[in-house]
Structure 1
Amino acid sequence: MKNKKESTAPAVRSQYTAPFKEQALERAEHDGIPRAAQGLGLSESMWYLWRAKRRQTGQSCEDQTLQHVEIARLKRENARLEEEVACLNKAAAYLCPLGTSRNDPSEVRHAQG
């Protein structure tokens, strides 16, 4: 029996930049997907996936990446603002006596009267 060393290392996935994908898709439009895939050593299925994503969204890969970055930034800002509101609500509850509200018109008339 032969002992084969089995690799336990996970397979490494290549990640391609948005500009690379765009250039690859342009090349595929000019040369055809099979020829472009062979030239760059990529699988044809990857090209079809990139092309389908671009058609589905109507945006380039670079635009999609920028949009994802902006969404992530807005989510972080939203979380920060929610924390700020929660802190202000706690402070308002501490500073205002129970049962009164700063916006209650009866409290304003009573204070003025």
Structure 2
Amino acid sequence: MATAANDMPKRKKARYGAEYHAEALSLAERIHVAAAASELGLHATQIYQRRAKAAHEKSVSDCERQLREENARLKRQLAEKTEEVEILGKTAAYFAKKLD
């Protein structure tokens, strides 16, 4: 016995790209979220969730950028200190030969 719910074809979930989401967020900024949602055929919660996700991604990318900058700075600093140690080692060896 098949029920009426099983006979109905399943509706596929629409998948939208990043460009669509960016456009939806910009529309929500220009007009209110509820108006943008009704215009796009979405629920307002979907726009709020996308906004939160975009803010999170931006903060993560900002953190990654800061870490990359700090890493580059530390690499430069390490190279300078390594060069100083090499020069001091050569200088110490030179003066050690003079004392002999």
TM-score after normalising by structure 1: 0.45
Report how far residue 7 of structure 1 moved: 2.8
Matching residue's letter, 1:48 = Y
TM-score after normalising by structure 2: 0.50
What corresponds to 2:53 in structure 1? 53
The answer to which of 33-42 and 7-16 deviates more is 7-16
Number of matched residues?
Answer: 58
CA distance, structure 2, for counterparts of residue 17 and residue 36 of structure 1? 17
Q: Greater CA radius of gyration, 1 or 2?
A: 2
Alignment of 1:14-93 (within 5 A): 14-58=14-58
Q: In the TM superposition, what whole-angstrom CA distance separates every residue of 1:74-101 from its partner, at most 9, and x where no partner exists?
A: xxxxxxxxxxxxxxxxxxxxxxxxxxxx
Task: State the identity as a percent.
Answer: 26
Task: State the SS of the aligned residue for 2:4.
Answer: coil
CA RMSD, aligned part only?
A: 2.5
| Higher helix fraction (1 or 2) | 2
Poorly superposed stretches of 4+, deviation over 6 Å: none
Q: Which runs of 5+ in 1 are unaligned?
A: 60-113
Report how far residue 48 of structure 1 moved: 0.7
Higher relative contact order (CA 8 A, sep 6+): 1
CA distance, structure 2, for counterparts of residue 42 and residue 13 of structure 1? 12
Alignment of 1:89-108 (within 5 A): none
CA distance, structure 1, for counterparts of residue 35 and residue 13 of structure 2? 23
